[in-house]
Amino acid sequence: MKNLITTVLFMLPICIFAQNTDYKVSSYKDEGFKAPNTHYIGEAWLNGVLQADDETDFNITKATFKANSTLDWHKHSTSQVLIYVDGEGYYQERGKDPVILKAGDVIKCDKETEHWHASTKDSDVTYLAIYGGGQPTTWTEVLTQEYYDSVADQLND
């Protein structure tokens, strides 16, 4: 019995400390913050789910764009993967036709490829963007409301 009590008293602190490990936990379900109205039309929310550090060389950002919202043309110094988790959005790379992407779709944009992405006219869109932790986004051209509207008309025919 004395050995059992000694063993329990010895193991108790180990169990307590094992349960107190500090984890950094984030959730892509958090709304995030309303993005300042720069380089896009409409309303957007951003949640920095994971930031690059010494051990992880990529970021994960959740972006939610309200219907009828779009980013300007831009490019990244690393490839970018977009994982669509809700709604529908437009996506286009320079020199290619635009497409509609829906929840469940995944697309990779190669580094230094100029592109834009947005919600559709009638649907909010939420996606996870996975991209390198290096250089920031390079904004290349304003995407006008007229151009966005023409893409919406083209894809809704």
Average pLDDT, whole number, for the chain?
Answer: 87
At residue 17 the predicted structure's pLDDT band, cuts being 50, 70 and 90, is low
Q: Do the beta carbons of residue 94 and residue 73 sit within 8 Å?
A: yes
Percentage of residues in the chain having pLDDT higher than 90: 61
Segment (H or E) for 75: strand 73-75
The pTM (predicted TM-score) of the whole model is: 0.81
At residue 37 the predicted structure's pLDDT band, cuts being 50, 70 and 90, is confident
Least reliable range by pLDDT among 1-5, 49-53, 59-63, 94-98? 1-5
Task: Give the pLDDT of residue 137.
Answer: 87
Most confident segment among 4-8, 11-15, 42-46:
42-46
Q: Do the beta carbons of residue 99 and residue 93 sit within 8 Å?
A: no
Helices and strands: H and E segment counts in the chain: 2, 12
| Tokens describing residue 147 | 């151009």
